[in-house]
Amino acid sequence: MKDLILISAYCNTKEKEDILRNLVTQINTQSQNLDLMVVSHTPIPLDIQDKCNYSFYDSKNELLYDWDLRSKPWFDPSNQRPILSIFTGFYNSHLAIWRMIILGNSLAKNLGYNKVHHIEYDTQISDFKELYENSVLLEDYDSIYYNKTEYVVSDILFGTYQAYRLDTLHPELLELDEEFLKDKIRNSNIKSPEGMLQDLLINGKKYLVKNKSLLDVNNNHFGLSHTVPSTPAWCLPFYDRKTNELNFIIWNSEGIENLNVTLIYNDTHIFTVKDLGPNTWKIINLDSNFDNAQNLITLVNDKIRNEFDFTKDKEYFKQVSYRQSNPRTVN
């Protein structure tokens, strides 16, 4: 039986829809070897459906806003002490993403497929050599995924593309149980969908880790939306467990030109950072004693990004946005 390409999509703009349309058109040129399924949380236009073997629109797109359900990524400036925070985003789309993948996997298995290539919609593929190579490798491996450092499993996997076998796939990626997933996210520390997916792909499995650079060759581009400048993710306050300070981290990892940040702390103290260049970071000390914290307004390029009321639950804030007291493993 052919391999199945499973595209997960959320295309709420014309630009995103056109990216999906282009990817489907490219994959359609390989229809003699590859079947195609699109699972989307936005309606799929008829012209795109016509080029797919299967198309599935799922209207449910539940986003997780509760603090105990939001992802907590980490950044370690100068390799000293990691900073972990849920405030890099405004919600967690973990459940929505996994819902598409699980529904696609379960349908594919019932249809008799075994080799699946999951690809997020924001992709352009002109050369399919890597996918065909992975198809052969899946004769010997249960799963194949990518990160930025080859063979280093501690790196979080690149979420845009994975290849795996359905006959050995972890049951949690085949059976949808949303309450179970929420509890699993709630009890996870970092709550990363990529990190939790990686755990299921390698747990007791024979897996292969490749370097992400192998994907972006010959006019291939995986994770197109990752390169679009936007508001910075790392622009947030955090509690320092070692010093009891309230600090603020700005990391221009998105490569935004002319990044300007204004912080209004406790209604009276104003801090400004002007023209923070691409791929640079800065830490600002807001208060030497976190107990003094009342409120904070964050403006990025003159637009409000966040407002924080520290009087509501200071102790809980310490658990969701903090710098570790030691430089060891993230915890």
- Is the domain of 164 the same as that of 278? no
Type of residue found at 270: I
Query: How high is the pLDDT of residue 331?
Result: 60
Q: Report phi then psi at 323, rounded to 5.
A: -110, 130
Q: pLDDT value at position 192?
A: 80
Work out whether strand 234-240 and strand 161-165 pair parallel, antiparallel, or are unpaired: unpaired
Tell me the Ramachandran region of residue 30: left when phi exceeds 0, alpha when psi lies from -120 to 50, beta otherwise.
alpha
Residues of the chain with pLDDT under 70: 149-155, 190, 226-230, 328-331
For residues 177 and 279, membership in a common domain is answered with no
Amino acid at 241: R
Q: How far is CA 14 from the centre of its chain?
A: 22
pLDDT by residue (tens digit) across 265-277? 999 999 999 999 8
Last residue of a domain, one of 226, 257, 279: 226
Same-domain pairing of 105 and 240: no
Please report the DSSP string for 217-259 in residue order.
-TT-EE-GGGGS--S-SEEEEEEETTT--EEEEEE-TT--TTE
Shared domain check, 208 and 167: yes
Q: Indicate if 177 and 55 belong to the same structural domain.
A: yes
Q: DSSP per residue over 163-198, as a string? A: EEESSSS-GGGTS--HHHHHHHHHH-SS--HHHHHH
For residue 15, what are the domain limits?
3-70+92-226
Residue 81 counted as domain residue: no
For the full predicted model, state whether its pTM sits above 0.75.
yes
Contact (Cβ atoms closer than 8 angstroms) between residue 249 and residue 77: yes
47/318 Cα distance (integer angstroms): 50
pLDDT of 304: 94
Instruction: Based on the fold, state whether residues 29 and 170 are members of the same structural domain.
Output: yes
Q: What is the pLDDT of residue 59?
A: 95
pLDDT at position 71 is 87
Number of domains within the chain: 2
pLDDT digits (tens, 9 = 90+) for 191-225: 788 889 999 999 899 999 999 999 999 999 998 87
Provide the CATH number for the domain around residue 161. Answer: 3.90.550
Distance CA 209, CA 224 (A): 21
The answer to whether residues 166 and 258 belong to one domain is: no
